[in-house]
Amino acid sequence: MRKKWAVMGLAASALLAFPFSAFAADEVTATTVQTNLDTFFVFLAFALVLFMQAGFAFLEAGSVRMKNAGHVAGKTILTLGIALVAFWAFGFGLGFGDGNGFFGYQGFFLSGEEMKPLFGALSGLDIPISMMFLFHLAFAAVSLSIAFGGFAERAKLSVYIIFGVLFMIIIYPIIAHWVWGGGWLAAIGMQDYAGSTVVHLTGATAGLAATLMLKPRLGKYNKDGKPNIIPGHNQVFSVIGVFILWFGWMGFNPGSALTPSGGFFTYVALTTNLAAAAGGIAALLISWVVLGKGDIPSMLNGVLAALVAITGSCAFVDVWAAVVIGLVAGVVTFFTAQWFEKAGIDDPIYAFSVHGIAGMWGAISTGLFATPELAEKVGVGKAGLFYGGGFHQLGVQLLGMIGTFIFVLVLSFIILGIMKALGGIRVTEEEEMMGLDISEHGSYGYPEQMRAIGEVDRSRANS
């Protein structure tokens, strides 16, 4: 037993000493220690954001019907696979490689540190380029997961694959380059600290295009156009999913500081969590007033919407403003979700309300609430309207938001339109009725329960 504990102690010591022992051949300096500390910090942020995919799996599987749960949950693994390969081959270079104001054209097929000079937008960091690739990959994968929310319960599996590859090559990287890769929006000072626009609005807009082109699910609307409620099969899963996403968001926003030095990431964590809490409470209360009951799914959407909105502004605004931003996001998302449903837009995961509308509000909010001190500290843009900055920053934010929405919507419609013309993008009515678990994968995520439901249906038909 003592030998076992001794081995475990040595292993732990080796792990703790790794940043130093790995460079034992070189002189250990304060710069070396800081670089290793920053790299480990970014690695933890990457891991947290990557773990958000588990949150999407729980949230989306719980929000759809049982017959589609396995398909939707398994799709998150497909998302990571597509994102990793496509972003490594082309997306990272297009997004962050040296180029012009619209896209990068260097750094494809990343092979190692020798390629770091090709990424001018990241050249000021001592963090290895491979680590920065993984960090931005995790963000890109989240954006793709958001987009796929608009495909839920009726899109062909092949559509996920083809659209996912193209999204990771020619949609997300272009927007990322505009804002974070030294593009035209970066040049005019657009403030988007961790991706209200780049990650969330981009993914949600692509999802909106899919939602519109796929048309509503069978049975969602009556002949008079009145919507029917199609509840998800497991609200507990959805709650777990939102908690995981909230936890993973600590890699999204605080992690975007890219260093623990100075402690600024703790301030970002404070504004992020306060906004999320305000959004969830506000959405629950407004649902109670409007619906007569405190609606749990509305509260969950309020938390996520607030997190989306504060993602772009978390480093630029005062604490009180973060609460306001989260509160407004929770209320607005509740009403827009209701309005879109009544307008005939069947968005099963409420992706555009939660990530699109809230992403727009997040972009606008920095143009209103950004303080001159924090804008100077971050080094991006100017003060917002309410802090003496006039309409300049607000105008920049609106331009970036509108430009992103139009570019992504048009390109997504073009891609999906071509796919629809060539081979279709929606499963057949029979396949949709039986569920995508069985029609696309040959087995149900809940085989025993689905078998029991089938036996009950057959018994009713024969009686």
Residue 239 has a pLDDT of: 96
How far, in Å, CA of 442 to CA of 109, rounded?
35
Tell whether 458 is covered by a domain.
no
How far, in Å, CA of 241 to CA of 417, rounded?
32
Tell whether 156 is covered by a domain.
yes
Tell whether 6 is covered by a domain.
no
Q: Kindly tell me if the per-residue pLDDT of 313 is higher than 60.
A: yes
**Domain containing 344: what range?**
32-450
Which token pair is 216? 């509503």
Q: Kindly tell me if the per-residue pLDDT of 28 is higher than 90.
A: no
Q: How many residues does the chain have?
A: 463
Closest CA to 317 of 229, 215, 191: 191
* Mean pLDDT score, 153-175: 96
Say how many C-beta atoms besides its own lie within 10 A of residue 449's C-beta: 14
Tell whether 403 is covered by a domain.
yes
Cα pseudo-dihedral 323, 326, 329, 335, rounded to 10: -80
Q: Kindly tell me if the per-residue pLDDT of 241 is higher than 80.
A: yes
Tell whether 121 is covered by a domain.
yes
Residue 14 has a pLDDT of: 38
3-state DSSP assignment of residue 317? coil
Residue 124 has a pLDDT of: 82
User: Based on C-alpha coordinates, what's the Rg of the chain?
Assistant: 23
CB 412 within 8 A of CB 206: yes
* Mean pLDDT score, 90-109: 96
The single-letter code of the amino acid at 119 is: F
Say how many C-beta atoms besides its own lie within 10 A of residue 29's C-beta: 10
Any residues with CB less than 8 A from the CB of 432 and at least 6 apart, and which?
153, 154, 217, 218, 426, 439
Any residues with CB less than 8 A from the CB of 11 and at least 6 apart, and which?
none
Any residues with CB less than 8 A from the CB of 383 and at least 6 apart, and which?
370, 371, 372, 375, 389, 393
Residue with tokens 């971050």: 378
Q: Kindly tell me if the per-residue pLDDT of 273 is higher than 70.
A: yes
User: Tens of pLDDT along 192-219?
Assistant: 999 999 999 999 999 999 999 999 999 9
Residue 22 has a pLDDT of: 47
CB 234 within 8 A of CB 204: no
Tell whether 8 is covered by a domain.
no
Cα pseudo-dihedral 335, 337, 343, 346, rounded to 10: -170
Residue 448 has a pLDDT of: 62
Cα pseudo-dihedral 360, 364, 365, 371, rounded to 10: 150
Give the confidence band of 7 by pLDDT, cuts at 50, 70, 90: very low
User: Tens of pLDDT along 333-382?
Assistant: 999 999 999 999 999 999 999 999 999 999 999 999 999 999 999 999 99
* Mean pLDDT score, 244-253: 97
Cα pseudo-dihedral 54, 57, 63, 66, rounded to 10: -130
Q: Where is average pLDDT lowest: 53-57, 144-148, 419-423, 453-457?
A: 453-457
Percentage with pLDDT > 70 across the chain: 91
Residue with tokens 């896209």: 103
Tell whether 460 is covered by a domain.
no
Q: Kindly tell me if the per-residue pLDDT of 77 is higher than 60.
A: yes
Q: How many domains does the chain have?
A: 1
Q: List C-alpha distances in Å: 129 to 74, 93, 111, 195, 238.
A: 30, 12, 10, 20, 35
Longest dimension (CA), the chain: 84
Average pLDDT over the chain, rounded to an integer: 91
How far, in Å, CA of 312 to CA of 98, rounded?
24
How far, in Å, CA of 348 to CA of 152, rounded?
7
Q: Kindly tell me if the per-residue pLDDT of 6 is higher than 70.
A: no
CB 253 within 8 A of CB 311: yes
Tell whether 198 is covered by a domain.
yes
CB 270 within 8 A of CB 321: no
Which token pair is 114? 């020798």
Percentage with pLDDT > 90 across the chain: 82
Q: What is the CATH number of the domain that holds 445?
A: 1.10.3430.10
